[in-house]
Copies of this chain bind each other. A is one copy, B any other.
Amino acid sequence: MELKHILEKQSAESFKKYIPTLSIDCAIFSFNENSLHVLTVKMKDQNSWGLPGGYVKKEENVDDAAVRILKDRTGTENIYLQQFYTFGNLKRSESAFEEHDDSIWNKQRFVSIGYYALAEHSHVKLVIDEYSTAVEWHSIDNLPPFMMDHRSILDKALLTLREQLNNHPIGYNLLSEKFTMPELQKLYEAILGKKLNRGNFYRKILRYDILTKLDESRKGGAHKAPDLYSFDLEKYNSALKEGLKGSW
């Protein structure tokens, strides 16, 4: 069905079902092929991409709404989810619905609460709903044009990841249970947006004493199989609580 008809059909129900003025947008990150990715949705009739989002039901806590929206989009529930900023400029979202009637739900003023989520890439099942034509991961090194203010929302989410890297379990939630040191370094580089010296990175991360070196190595590939590590959760969490000391 065309977007116009879907929006008009759903409008009355949305007014009944959701609290006004508030939406939620999610920056869902994963780490794949040594690059940080973000989940993007293409809405019918739109040339640009958006972050997956939704609204808050009248009898629902805002945080619960974020969990529900994330589940609808990714098929998974146990994902690390953090609210990071609320976006409240005038005209931030209405532009995407210019051709539609002013009275429809989607064209009202919405202030959007941003959540970021950290997912293990392979666990996410992409779900296309009736409003969208595509759901895709995009590497943050190669982003498409975004609709509304979604690019600013994404940039703020990335900035938040960077600021919280020493206090929140970001590495743990983006990597597989077992990972190599080069993978961990690439993840830190992607979040910090800069190259790190290999020797310094290894020394610092080992000095924190938050990793367990496993008795196995990554099979396959032409080179010497690299050692595998996992986080020592107890030490990791207690180190994060104090804050990992020092900048990268």
Contacts and interface: CB of A to CB of B under 8 A. Distances in A.
Interface stretch (A39-47, A53-61, A180-188, A211-219): A53-61
Contact of A247 (B58, B90, B245): B245
A146 to B, nearest CB: 20
Contacts of A59: 90
A34 interface: no
B20 A56 contact: no
Contacts of A111: 19, 22, 56, 62, 113
Interface stretch (A80-88, A118-126, A171-179): A80-88
A155 interface: no
Interface residues of A, number: 30
Nearest to A242: B247
Contact of A113 (B60, B86, B109, B163): B86
A95 interface: no
A61 B83 contact: no
A60, A65, A86, A245 — most chain B CB neighbours (10 Å): A86
Consensus secondary structure, chain A interface: mixed
A82 to B, nearest CB: 10
Nearest to A59: B90
Contacts of A132: none
A237 to B, nearest CB: 16
A21 interface: yes
A145 interface: no
A90 B86 CA distance: 18
B22 A60 contact: no
A130 interface: no
Which 10 pairs between the two chains have the least Cβ-Cβ distance?
A: A62-B88, A21-B21, A86-B86, A20-B20, A61-B89, A243-B247, A19-B21, A245-B247, A245-B246, A86-B113
